[in-house]
Amino acid sequence: MTKTAVVTGAARGIGLATTKLFLAEGRTVVMIDNDTEELARAAEGLTGAVALPGDVSDPTGIDALVNVTIEALGRVDALVNNAGLADFGPIEGTTFERWRTVMATNLDGVFLMSQAFTPALKATRGAIVNIASISALRASTLRVAYGTSKAGVAHLTQQQAVELGEYGIRANCVCPGPVRTKLAMAVHTQDIIDAYHDAIPLNRYGSENEIAEAIVWLCSDKASFVTGQRLAVDGGFEASGIGLP
Ligand code: NAD
């Protein structure tokens, strides 16, 4: 029996690295992303991957994503809710529209996708991995919308673990430290890059692959007794307690 996975935000960055690791261990993967062109480019030549354009924040499109996924994979062993938006803005400068946009993808998207895929995950006693952030664990300036959305993801993960455990579904959350993806580099100024280097005990950014390894492990049978956890993959940032600007 071939195991399967669904990865959102799979067109690039951490989602694409996760897809490639799943494929390398023999899973078939549905890659969901709302950047249709980048998704098509990313999926080209990836044997075992199916590109599925879709917006995780759009409640009207979620059932279709589930149906096409089940048709393509037959079963769903793992759901990785990775699609996300970055946002840096002060409390007074964050418009309600901006706040809603961030919540819609980062938090509503995780809720909607997980809810819709729960019947399929019950059938396989599958795994959910939600991608939050170190901003879910520690507050710092300018992360009012982003940090709050990610803290919501971390708590939602625990709700899922507690409620869905009786069906054999495990739910865990990965909290990445900074990684040089398009999302991060759009908002990380040189000051922020320098501050992260100082605040992270390993004194560097992580790689997409280092985050993906943790995600794939949490989805695997090797993590069969691990659920409800928030795993910081952050070079020690959370432990250091050193602040950011
Ligand atoms: P990225 O921008 O490289 O990839 C994010 C992907 O999500 C993109 O392909 C984008 O098109 C897709 N996406 C965005 N909104 C979507 C939607 N509504 N529906 C479907 N797809 C959508 O970013 P990344 O750094 O790889 O981010 C992946 C996840 O990791 C995000 O949830 C992010 O918040 C989290 N994260 C990243 C970092 C970092 O430093 N890169 C740190 C902590 C957490």
C-beta 147 within 6 A of ligand 1: no
Contacts of 194 (CB under 8 A, 6+ apart): none
- Do the domain assignments include residue 91? yes
State how many domains the chain has: 1
- Do the domain assignments include residue 64? yes
Residue nearest to atom 19 of ligand 1 (CA): 55
Model pLDDT, residue 245: 64
Please report where in the chains the tokens 């579904």 appear, as a residue. 169
The DSSP bridge partners found for residue 6 are 30, 79
Model pLDDT, residue 232: 98
Atom of ligand 1 at shortest distance to CA of 206?
40
C-beta 42 within 6 A of ligand 1: no
pLDDT digits (tens, 9 = 90+) for 162-196: 999 999 999 999 999 999 999 999 999 999 999 99
3-state secondary structure of 5: strand
- Do the domain assignments include residue 60? yes
Name the E strands within the chain. Answer: 4-8, 28-33, 49-53, 78-81, 127-131, 170-176, 230-233
Please report where in the chains the tokens 């599958």 appear, as a residue. 126
**What ipTM does the predicted assembly reach?**
0.99
CATH number at residue 117: 3.40.50.720
- Do the domain assignments include residue 192? no
Do 153 and 110 contact (CB within 8 A), yes or no? yes
146, 167, 196, 205: the catalytic one is 146
- Do the domain assignments include residue 117? yes
Measure CA 82 to chain center: 2
Show the low-confidence residues of the chain (pLDDT under 50): none
Residue nearest to atom 21 of ligand 1 (CA): 33
- Do the domain assignments include residue 199? no
Model pLDDT, residue 243: 78
Q: Look up 146 and say whether it is catalytic.
A: yes
Element (H, E) at 239: helix 237-240
- Do the domain assignments include residue 244? no
**Domain coverage including residue 69:** 4-178+207-235
The DSSP bridge partners found for residue 206 are 179
Its pTM stands at: 0.98
Give dist(CA 45, CA 59) in Å, integer. 31
Please report where in the chains the tokens 């980048």 appear, as a residue. 38
Question: What separation in Å is there between the alpha carbon of 204 and the centre of ligand 1?
Answer: 20
Alpha helix (H) residue ranges in 35-136: 36-43, 62-73, 96-103, 109-124
Q: Is 114 exposed, middle or buried (0-12, 13-18, 19+ CB in 10 A)?
A: buried
